[in-house]
Amino acid sequence: MLRTSVVFERGTPALDQLTGLVRWGLGGRIADGRQWISWIHVADWLRITRWCLGDDDVVAAPPPSGPLLATAPSPVRNAELMAALRRALHRPPTPAPLVRLGAVLLRTDPALALTGRRAVSRVLAEAGFGFRFPRLEDALADLLR
């Protein structure tokens, strides 16, 4: 069973909504910004999926027989994610009132933005899976170029 964190890919709702907020000047942190966000670049997610289906060109170790968490090895806090997006898109920090406006415009569930989960895959680390995009900054540079 494959459990997946937020998958970042061009043209998907997760990345499009976040980059849209940043481009409109609404991309600041949510609440205190300390909520954890586990994420993964689509290229790494696809490689993990291929490995689980038996492609031994991805990792020499056999795929796991139990649950596997597909997530990058470096979860980030909400404030770090939004700051990285602003840097990647060359946008200034966002004033707090505009962040609240962004949440209203997106009609998001406050619980989704105000809680988080820090997840890292022990199975991937033990198998020696080599991420192409282990750091958020590298993933965003690839996806937003």
If residue 2 lies in a helix (H) or strand (E), which one and from where to where? strand 2-4
Closest-CA residue to 108 (of 39, 36, 13, 37):
13
Q: Name the pairing type of β-strands 36-37 and 68-70.
A: unpaired
What b-and-e string marks burial along 12-22, b requiring 16 or more CB atoms within 10 Å of the CB? eeebeebbebb
Residue spans of the chain under pLDDT 70: 96, 98-116
Instruction: Enter the pTM of the model.
Output: 0.84
Closest-CA residue to 16 (of 89, 123, 109, 79):
89
Question: What SS3 string covers 61-116?
Answer: CCCCCCCEEECCCCCEEHHHHHHHHHHHCCCCCCCHHHHHHHHHHHCCCHHHHHCC
CATH class of 2-143: alpha beta
What is the reported pLDDT for 76?
97
User: Where in the chain are the domains?
Assistant: 2-143
Q: How far apart are CA 85 and CA 16, in angstroms?
A: 11
What is the reported pLDDT for 28?
80
What is the reported pLDDT for 27?
79
Closest-CA residue to 68 (of 6, 131, 3, 120):
3
C-beta neighbour count of 37 within 10 angstroms: 19
Q: Which pLDDT tens digit goes with each residue over 103-140? A: 666 665 555 555 667 888 999 999 999 999 999 999 99
